[in-house]
Chain A
Amino acid sequence: QVQLVESGGGVVQPGGSVRLSCAASGFSFSTYAIHWVRQAPGKGLEWVAVISYDTTNKYYADSVKGRFTISRDNSERMVYLQMSSLRAEDTAVFYCVRDGEPSSSWYGYMDVWGKGTTVTVSS
């Protein structure tokens, strides 16, 4: 079935770095843009970043620009989120999410969500 599985979360110190991974299966991965969306404890959803199906376009929320880097490996069906200079306010569940329309840089709505991985920034 169509599935996205995140990994790589954990506890990291302020100022530290961590790389999240997202493994995709059950669909034509190389034709879909992929987003990362996060949710702080007890809070709402915040869009973080998106990468186009062919890796040529990447777009970030202002809150993470310059600190987070999104990438993908279509041959491995993987998406990554490299996070650095982490702050307490980055503590959240991070979801890997498929864009709703194939073969576009991104359309914008999100139709398949992973279960999420938790990142806690704390000393």
Chain B
Amino acid sequence: EIVLTQSPGTLSLSPGDRATLSCRASQTVSSSFLAWYQQRPGQAPRLLIYDASTRATGIPDRFSGSGSGTDFTLTISRLEPEDFVVYYCQQYGSSLSFGGGTKVEIK
């Protein structure tokens, strides 16, 4: 089973800042089969990025994904007030598993 470790657990930033979220896999994620989701309080997750770098339909271009192998990154270029929530990575290269999440909070 591939274990995904997200860091940091909490990221404290200000609106307009650049956010860099990390997702590290315990083994190589084949074919960059990695997705990112955003979850607002009390809501279901929303798909942001799939196949490591492809934005899902309707996702603003301030969200971008990169990486391969065991190291992946979600970047939010300029934080908007609604971006201060929790983000999860998920791999689907070998079975399916989620990371523990990163909370982006207002500094």
Q: Which residues of A contact B (CB under 8 A)?
A: 35, 44-47, 50, 59, 61-62, 95, 100, 106-111, 113-116
Verify if B47 is at the interface (C-beta below 8 Å from A). Answer: yes
Contacts of B101 on A, CB cut-off 8 Å? 44-45
Chain A proximity of B104: nearest CB distance (Å): 15
Are A113 and B44 in touch, CB under 8 angstroms?
yes
Known: A44-B99, A45-B98, A110-B35. A95 touches B88 (CB 8 A): no
Verify if B45 is at the interface (C-beta below 8 Å from A). Answer: yes
Are A44 and B50 in touch, CB under 8 angstroms?
no
Contacts of B88 on A, CB cut-off 8 Å? 44-45
Are A45 and B90 in touch, CB under 8 angstroms?
yes
Main secondary structure of the interface of B (DSSP, over half): loop
The residue that B44 contacts in the complex, of A61, A108, A115, with Cβ under 8 A, is A115
How far, in angstroms, from A115 to B45 measured CA to CA in the complex? 9
Closest 9 pairs (CB-CB, A-B): A108-B92, A113-B44, A109-B50, A109-B35, A47-B96, A45-B98, A44-B101, A111-B47, A44-B100
Contacts of A35 on B, CB cut-off 8 Å? 96
The winner among A46, A47, A108 for most chain B CB atoms within 10 A is A108
Question: Closest residue to B44 on the A side, CB-wise?
Answer: A113
Are B90 and A109 in touch, CB under 8 angstroms?
yes
Chain B proximity of A49: nearest CB distance (Å): 10
Are B98 and A47 in touch, CB under 8 angstroms?
yes
How far, in angstroms, from A5 to B47 measured CA to CA in the complex? 18
Are A111 and B56 in touch, CB under 8 angstroms?
yes
Verify if B83 is at the interface (C-beta below 8 Å from A). Answer: no
How far, in angstroms, from A62 to B97 measured CA to CA in the complex? 11
